[in-house]
Amino acid sequence: MVISMDRWVGKVAVVTGASTGIGAAIADQLVSNGLKVVGIARRVELVEQRSQDLSDQPGKLYPYKADVSQQDQIVEAFTWIEDTLGPVHILINNAGVAKDTTLVDGDYDAWRATLDVNVLGLCVATREAIKSMKKHDVKGHIVHINSLCGHRVPNFPGFNIYPASKHGVTALTETLRQELNFLGSKIKVTSVSPGLVATEMTTLKEMDPEKRAVVDTFPVMSPEDIADGVIYVLSTPEHVQVHELTIKPVGEIY
Ligand SMILES: NC(=O)c1ccc[n+]([C@@H]2O[C@H](COP(=O)([O-])OP(=O)(O)OC[C@H]3O[C@@H](n4cnc5c(N)ncnc54)[C@H](OP(=O)(O)O)[C@@H]3O)[C@@H](O)[C@H]2O)c1
């Protein structure tokens, strides 16, 4: 199998949640591989700063402010991308949230926000990207940033609705693959499932100190480790589809 990013050079990639953590690292690596990358986030000023830092790289980072829990904002984003940069070739559905609440005494707004971003935002962005790919006959690639929590529920306090949202991503990966097959489409879909990564999500200042102490004992990866995995799945030949890539830190225990 020949591994190469060559066919993506100069093409358009969209990364949701590109302001920090895993999404920022993926956007950086796509820019250094020569792609035009649209980095979507609410804190667009962080993406703007990264765009300046990457100005000597072969590709370019285009900051775009949008809230992926809002369908109309995602649709507007993809319209802007198509009109300004051209057809979408790659979508990285990375934006995600984990809220500090419980199921037994939970906060409905926190549950809803989690599902709106992790599940529905991902579905809307996927639909819009595929619309663009189909219109221009692009053999594109959709990558869902899933989680180990999308495959089993770690015995860890207060995960509430997050593992359910990521189990949804596991199902959505296979459902999309089947729908694309029914259409005879060559668009690929991949789920990338990381274990613990040091990001804002896992270093929450407001995290309960007891939980914080448990998390601090776990082995952890960097956002760049996950970005490397994403570059690998994108580098596979057109006829090869990595369905699921699980990435754990050595010594992972939860
Ligand atoms: N960290 C881990 O241990 C870990 C493990 C497995 C999977 N993951 C998954 O990896 C992905 C990235 O998480 P991370 O760890 O890198 O966390 P992070 O640093 O908190 O990044 C989350 C990103 O999502 C964006 N986002 C959140 N809500 C959004 C919204 N409504 N609209 C637009 N963007 C939104 C944030 O941007 P703004 O706030 O600027 O909008 C930010 O860029 C998530 O899907 C997460 O579930 C993380």
Ligand 1 site-directed mutation target among 47, 94, 109, 225, most atoms within 8 Å of CB = 94
Residue type, 39: G
Quick one: pLDDT at residue 210? 75
For residue 202, tell me if it sits in a domain. yes
CATH code at position 100: 3.40.50.720
For residue 105, tell me if it sits in a domain. yes
User: 3-state secondary structure string, the chain?
Assistant: CCCCCHHHCCCEEEEECCCCHHHHHHHHHHHHCCCEEEEEECCHHHHHHHHHHCCCCCCEEEEEECCCCCHHHHHHHHHHHHHHCCCEEEEEECCCCCCCCCCCCCCHHHHHHHHHHHHHHHHHHHHHHHHHHHHCCCCCEEEEECCHHHCCCCCCCCCCCHHHHHHHHHHHHHHHHHHHHHCCCCCEEEEEEECCECCHHHCCCCCCHHHHHHHCCCCCECHHHHHHHHHHHHCCCCCCCCCEEEECCCCCCC
Cβ(187)–Cβ(180) below 8 Å: yes
Residue type, 48: E
Low-confidence ranges of the chain (pLDDT < 70): 204-206, 254
Examine the residue annotation and report whether 64 is marked as an active-site residue of this protein: no
Both structure tokens of 9 = 């050079």
For residue 253, tell me if it sits in a domain. no
Cβ(17)–Cβ(95) below 8 Å: yes
Cα(16) to ligand 1 centroid in Å equals 8
Quick one: pLDDT at residue 37? 99
For residue 254, tell me if it sits in a domain. no
Residue with CA at minimum distance from ligand 1 atom 1: 197
Cβ(245)–Cβ(229) below 8 Å: yes
Name the catalytic one among 62, 64, 108, 162: 162
Instruction: Return left, alpha or beta for 131; rule: phi > 0 is left, psi -120 to 50 is alpha, else beta.
Output: alpha
Residue with CA at minimum distance from ligand 1 atom 17: 201
Domain enclosing residue 159, as ranges: 6-247
For residue 188, tell me if it sits in a domain. yes
Ligand 1 site-directed mutation target among 91, 117, 196, 197, most atoms within 8 Å of CB = 197
Quick one: pLDDT at residue 214? 76
For residue 103, tell me if it sits in a domain. yes
pLDDT digits (tens, 9 = 90+) for 150-194: 999 998 888 999 999 999 999 999 999 999 999 999 999 999 999
Q: Residues with Cβ within 6 A of ligand 1? A: 16-23, 41-43, 67-69, 94-97, 117, 145, 147, 194, 196-197, 199-202
For residue 1, tell me if it sits in a domain. no
Quick one: pLDDT at residue 27? 98
Quick one: pLDDT at residue 217? 87
For residue 252, tell me if it sits in a domain. no
How many domains does the structure of the chain reveal? Answer: 1
pTM over 0.95: yes
Quick one: pLDDT at residue 204? 64
Nearby residues of 133 by Cβ (< 8 Å), 6 or more positions away? 87, 88, 89, 139, 140, 187
